[in-house]
Amino acid sequence: MRLGISIWSQGATWASMRETAQLVDRLGYDHLWTFDHLLPNLGDPEAPVHEGWLTLAAWAEATTHPNLGLMVGANTFRNPALVAKMAVTLDHASGGRAMLGLGSAWFELEHRAYGMDFGRGFGERGRWLAEALEIIAPLLRGERVTHHGPHYRTEGLRLNPPPVQAHLPIVVGGHGLTTLPAAARFADVWSVYPEPDDLLRERFALLREMAAAAGREPAALEGAISTKIVIRDDPAEAERVWRALLRAQSMEDYRREPWLGPPAAIAERIAHYRALGFGILVVDQLAPFDRETIERLATEVRPLLGA
């Protein structure tokens, strides 16, 4: 199971984000992520937020080990050809550590505030995502792309320089039926939050069926599960820390269940999702970032997973 930390920028200072990214690097995590929002998507609507791609670019210089990516980028924010160019630039800046995360986007408020087209619903945004990946995937392979689609256009475009990596991974987020076809055709990693086991099994099976129908090897498509974790030996103390984090972010009404408790209990939860087919764990970190959890996940939980 590969481990990653997603550092959410809302309510965070840049200094704390840089310091936490370097801690993640020193502890040998496989991945370092941030979210892609332009306004807080939860909690205090006036909290500060840092832009995702520029955050990754700065981390490329501040870290040496983990792969870097957005979990996941909002397809509606940027032209897909430009996104491919940005991912390649990040790959060079980081020495071949870029991952390109993309999803349909869901937060209407930030689209209205920034004057961006939100489309007419998940179905339309899902089609935009699939069309964007029809451009991005061949560009990352070094192909010259001319695309005259219903939403995007390119004319004889080829990226130079190409990525450092022979294959720059694409991550597609979302378990909705409008997102799965794009993930099946183009993703190396499919990213979701914990949902009922039956739903995840059903969607994973459907995803792999779609990948096979598209001529891909289904086993090559990896799953990533994202969650929030607080590690403390006393579960009551973990609950107290979690509640304090929610208060700090004005997120007292947050309802998604975190994983709370000692290292052995967290390792059991991770093993459960590994058995469902997920090979990557992404742990969301809210400011003020929980250094103890980050350290203990790497030094105490990871050895239990190996055992």
Whether pLDDT at 307 is above 70? no
Of 12-21, 40-49, 57-66, 91-100, the range with the lowest mean pLDDT is 40-49
Report the pLDDT value the prediction gives residue 178, as an integer from 0 to 100. Answer: 86
Question: Which CATH number fits the domain that encloses residue 267?
Answer: 3.20.20.30
Question: 229: which strand partners?
Answer: 259
Calculate mean pLDDT across residues 1-15.
Answer: 96
Calculate mean pLDDT across residues 135-141.
Answer: 98
Calculate mean pLDDT across residues 192-204.
Answer: 94
CB atoms within 10 A of CB 274: 16
pTM reported for the whole predicted model: 0.94
Calculate mean pLDDT across residues 93-116.
Answer: 96
Whether pLDDT at 190 is above 60? yes
Whether pLDDT at 306 is above 90? no
Q: How far apart are CA 37 and CA 305, in angstroms?
A: 32
Domains: count for the chain: 1
Please give the residue range of the domain that contains residue 142. Answer: 2-306
Whether pLDDT at 87 is above 80? yes
String of DSSP letters for 36-101? --SS-SSS-TTS----HHHHHHHHHHH-SSSEEEETTEEGGGS-HHHHHHHHHHHHHHTTS-B-EE
Phi, psi of 147 (to 5 degrees): -135, 120
